[in-house]
Amino acid sequence: MRKNYRYNKSKDNNIKKARIIILFMTIVFLIVGGSSLIAAKFFQNRQEVQALDDTKQSGDSDSNSNDKKDNRDSLNVESNSEVEDSSFIEKYLNQQMKGQKPDGADGKKVVYLTFDDGPSETVTPQILDVLKSENVHATFFIVGKSLDKDENTKNIVKRELSEGNSIGNHTYSHNYNYLYPNGKINLWNCMSDIEKTNESLKKVLGEDFSTRAIRFPGGHMTWKNKDSVGMDTMDKALHEKNYHQIDWNSLSQDAEGTPKNAEQLKQEVIKTTAGREKAIILMHDTYGKEETAKALPGIIEYLKQQGYEFKVIK
């Protein structure tokens, strides 16, 4: 009897041990299997994340590539635009006047139509109408006091800019006695007159407006010959403010000698642009220059026939 009891007890212990082993193995299997599943899921997620990152980087790369292309295209548009840097014109004319071959001589024929002494309520609108109809643009060198005359003149300058033309500074007073007393450059008077016109332009065209193109009444070349030291000092003061003086190498002579009719003005332009690769033409849009407005269509037609590209100066 006792022997059977011991046998049964031993059997029960063996069953319990077997159950414990089975339970332990089951737990181990579950842990190992669960860990493998978790690891596999983690690896899958990591691959998905990596794939997303690769796609994003590829997209960013394409975007950057497109951005760079857009920037290049933008630069190409700017380089091929009708806008010329005022520093280029200043240097080109200075070298040309010294009898040197200008650095910018490249075989391309370019013309720059420039108008001084405006705006006027009579002539300037006529000139703007012609420019618009001919699909070309010009650079207007503004006299500050003419700009400040009334709301009409202010609106005319707004129109000049809005229609794609460029604005330059032609001093405020245009007064030779004030700017060049006794035939000598007065640095303070010239600079203050230039800044006064800039202030007027900003009030009309907005605080963000600026121009680097300066044209002296009578021209830089005139006063350079008469007062070389004074003009050298003037040039240094201008360059310190990133201004550049713009003269001309062709003209209609609508402000020189006896009054001329439209055909005579056109012939003067033809004569003075002959052989010019880069022609900076001086004309005027102030009161009394109606013949200049009449001559302009013929002048533009001739220049187009000669293969000139039209640009503005900024």
Tell me if residue 117 is catalytic: no
Cβ burial, residue 225 (10 Å; 0-12/13-18/19+): exposed
Looking at residue 106, the DSSP 8-state letter turns out to be -
Helix (H) or strand (E) holding 300: helix 290-305
Cα distances (angstroms) measured from residue 87 to each of 114, 127, 180 = 16, 26, 24
Cβ burial, residue 88 (10 Å; 0-12/13-18/19+): middle
Tell me if residue 129 is catalytic: no
- The β-bridge relationship of strands 83-84 and 312-313 is parallel
Distance CA 210, CA 206 (A): 9
Distance CA 298, CA 294 (A): 8
List the catalytic residue out of 53, 116, 244, 254.
116
List the catalytic residue out of 170, 174, 284, 285.
284
Joined tokens for residue 46: 């990591």
Residue pair 290/122 in contact (Cβ under 8 Å)? The answer is yes
Residues carrying an active site annotation? 116, 284
